[in-house]
A and B are shown apart, each in its own frame.
Chain A
Amino acid sequence: DAKTTQPNSMESNEEEPVHLPCNHSTISGTDYIHWYRQLPSQGPEYVIHGLTSNVNNRMASLAIAEDRKSSTLILHRATLRDAAVYYCILRDPWSAGAGSYQLTFGKGTKLSVIP
């Protein structure tokens, strides 16, 4: 799997938007961009994923650069519950064969939310 680069940590004020960047300059044409987050003392949870177009769901938005070498996870209004480690992961489902895949986690970005 291609590598991703994320800042080690970020801070945000509560109720402000948060933009979490991820660089993936060696991304291949079939790599999907996945975001997971891990709240303290919990397992990771899925946030969002996309391939080329920007994506929105109830949790967040994913903005993908036109050349796909970077992406940004957007939390529209940070809450204290959003304090977590956020992981940006690339995955090519076709390289693993149908019906199986793994997630390759880096160290992620630790997001602190200030009340």
Chain B
Amino acid sequence: DAGVTQSPTHLIKTRGQQVTLRCSPKSGHDTVSWYQQALGQGPQFIFQYYEEEERQRGNFPDRFSGHQFPNYSSELNVNALLLGDSALYLCASSLGGVNGEQYFGPGTRLTVT
């Protein structure tokens, strides 16, 4: 049983460019959350998708957007990249219940130059 998978593993982009990160949830999970983790900090919640809709959003600008597909996989898009967007982007999946544990993927390391 595959856990949460993310692609790509690493990515280097230039300021102003756009990036798309991908996530496949753990088998049987229907909810996907995205987190940003800066170096030396804990992960910060970006948003959560359930039934192909954004259900909750953290304190991130509209440059961050996402999508969930009918097979529950998800994409995170970031437009107009800034140097400060350099971070580890984590995807977590869970069942839509109120207190289910979240399973995290290994993350995508984004570097903006």
A94 to B98, CA, bound (A): 7
Chain B residues touching A, range: 20 to 34
Q: Which of these binds chain A: B14-22, B39-47, B61-69, B73-81? A: B39-47
A18 to B105, CA, bound (A): 27
**Size of the chain A interface, CB-CB below 8 angstroms:** 26
A91 to B101, CA, bound (A): 11
* Cβ proximity bits B80-103 to A, threshold 8 Å, 1 near / 0 not: 000000000010100011110111
A96 to B45, CA, bound (A): 14
Q: Is the CB of A100 within 8 A of B56?
A: yes
Q: Is the CB of B58 within 8 A of A102?
A: yes
Q: Is the CB of B92 within 8 A of A43?
A: yes
Can you give 7 A-B contacts (C-beta < 8 A)?
A32-B99, A42-B104, A43-B92, A44-B102, A45-B104, A96-B98, A106-B42
| A residues with CB within 8 A of B | 32, 34, 41-46, 49, 85, 87, 91, 93-94, 96, 98-108
| B residues with CB within 8 A of A | 4, 31, 33, 35, 40-45, 48, 50, 55-56, 58, 90, 92, 96-99, 101-107
